Amino acid sequence: MAVWRLPFVLLSLLGSAIALQERVLESRAPGDGETPLIAAAWYTGWHSTDFPLSRVSWSKYTHITYAFGITTPSPELVALDASDERLLTEFVALARENVGLGSASNRTTFVNTILNVVRRYNLDGIDFDWEYPNMQGLGCNIVNPDDTSNFLSFLRELRQTDRGRDLVLSAAVYVTPFADASGSPSTDVSGFAEVLDYIAVMNYDVRINQSVGAGSRSPLDDSCAPAGAKWGSAVTSIEAWREAGVPLNKLVLGVPAHGHSYDVSPSVVLSRSNSSLLVEYPSFNPAARKRGDRWDGEGGTDVCGATDGPGGVYTYWGLIETGFLKQDGSVGDGIVKRYDECSETPFLYNPESRVYVSYEDARSYAAKGDFIYSTGIAGFAMWEAGGDYNDVLLDSIRHASLNGNPGARTRSSRESGGTQAVVPTRNTATSPSYRNNVPIVWGSLITLIYTCVFLTLR
């Protein structure tokens, strides 16, 4: 079984498939100057036994991204069978040898390679997943000061081709804008908004500070977090990309269908005055992290040669299967729950196993959906479709994103005196889409999209 962190190792081309529903979403159908909601999720081939394609709720999505395809050391070759465990291992091994695309010849060669794959498999688009240009991701990345500018040059060249003009081009990105030549977040990434149809900001697996304690890994708002624990939230990350030049109608909020667990002592996390209450930011023992649900990896040695233990990851269904939650989403027997109204994050704790989990539920997804609706961003993208249970999370965020649900958001950043929320821009002028300047009807396509992940474009 693949380790959860592998999809986020930014070292190679990740193949993906997008399936767009055959009917347009009704509630937020496009009006004057408005585009319909993007409702997206990733589908992982290596989980297809437990979650076959037949279980995907196709009619509720606009995009389903298949993970993953593979780059090779040559810009002339792309491998597609990444759902095979052997090829996933090969994908990691090849990542260290990933070819640079900074030279004009390599960029042109790789553009042609992608277009050949598009034609061969009748694809409608490309999705690029490169979180850390000119930054360390895994720890042994080769970085170049020109990574971001080279990436943009590559995208422009791809977009300028006859076939590229008609492609749906998107990107999945980190919570801060791409690094500039100095290594700091870029103040102007507007060029990417000009060539991409949308950008998915991955507000999940957000870092935590061990010295502060276990907190939310996908906070809607972190303005109430203690000093040293503010590593990015939906509010701050969307605003950061907007301030760097990406219009709100080009931004999609990445949301997780999984949570992260920690080994926490009952004496630390349970309130001394009431054992049915959990304290905020409990200290934890990183060396004692246990395996999460049956989709979680056992750990091992990564491509940098560093060893690590289990991921401690629980999907939403995994929390039900392991007894943290009941099938209706209520708390399992012997489990203690806390909901943080600032970050809009639920937490679970099992005193017997000492496992403390930061995760997402229907309430937190509704809060994120209301944020999407009220700010006017383009939609959401869930990692991953198979992590949900009977569409509990999907239905919650989709409904709130389409219709709004202000009651779901118990605290706003304005109320907390922290970072201000982005200004709603529903029904305002939008950035141009492509396909020969024809407006996108997201619900009318059946799409297979490729996700390209690069370590370096040097």
Distance CA 421, CA 313 (A): 30
User: What ranges do the domains of the chain cover?
Assistant: 6-257+361-452, 261-358
Q: Are 146 and 181 in contact (CB under 8 A)?
A: yes
Distance CA 204, CA 7 (A): 13
Neighbours of 195 (CB within 10 A): 18
Note the Cα 123 to chain centre separation in Å: 22
Q: What is the pTM of this model?
A: 0.82
237, two tokens: 């990350």
List % helix, strand, coil for the chain (3-state, nearest 5).
Answer: 30, 20, 55
List, in sequence order, every residue forming a beta bridge with 168; answer none if it has no partner.
Answer: 125
Taking the CA atoms of 352, 364, 222 and 276 in sequence, report the sign of the dihedral they define. negative
Distance CA 243, CA 422 (A): 10
List, in sequence order, every residue forming a beta bridge with 66; answer none if it has no partner.
Answer: 43
Query: What pLDDT is attached to residue 167?
Result: 86
CA distance to 12, 74, 106, 109, per residue, from 99 (Å): 9, 6, 8, 11
Query: What pLDDT is attached to residue 428?
Result: 34
* Residues in CB range of 112: below 8 A, 6 or more apart: none
Query: What pLDDT is attached to residue 210?
Result: 94
Query: What pLDDT is attached to residue 417?
Result: 37
Residue 68's nearest CA partner among 97, 93, 43 is: 43
Phi-psi category of residue 224: left, alpha or beta, with phi > 0 → left and psi -120 to 50 → alpha: alpha
Radius of gyration of the chain (CA): 21
- 139 φ, ψ (degrees, to nearest 5): 130, -20
Distance CA 138, CA 95 (A): 11
Domain 6-257+361-452, CATH homologous superfamily name and number:
Glycosidases (3.20.20.80)
* Residues in CB range of 407: below 8 A, 6 or more apart: none
Query: What pLDDT is attached to residue 440?
Result: 27
Note the Cα 17 to chain centre separation in Å: 15
Query: pLDDT tens digits, the chain, 458 residues: what are they?
Result: 333 222 222 222 332 333 333 333 333 444 445 568 999 988 887 788 898 878 988 889 887 776 765 444 455 555 555 443 333 333 223 322 334 555 777 788 888 887 887 777 666 677 787 888 888 877 777 788 998 998 999 999 999 999 999 888 889 999 999 999 999 999 999 999 999 999 999 999 999 999 999 999 999 999 999 989 999 999 999 999 999 999 999 999 999 999 999 999 999 999 988 888 999 999 999 999 999 999 998 888 877 888 888 999 999 999 999 999 999 999 999 999 999 999 999 999 999 999 999 999 999 999 999 999 999 999 999 999 999 999 999 999 999 999 998 777 765 433 333 334 444 444 333 443 433 322 222 222 222 333 333 333 33
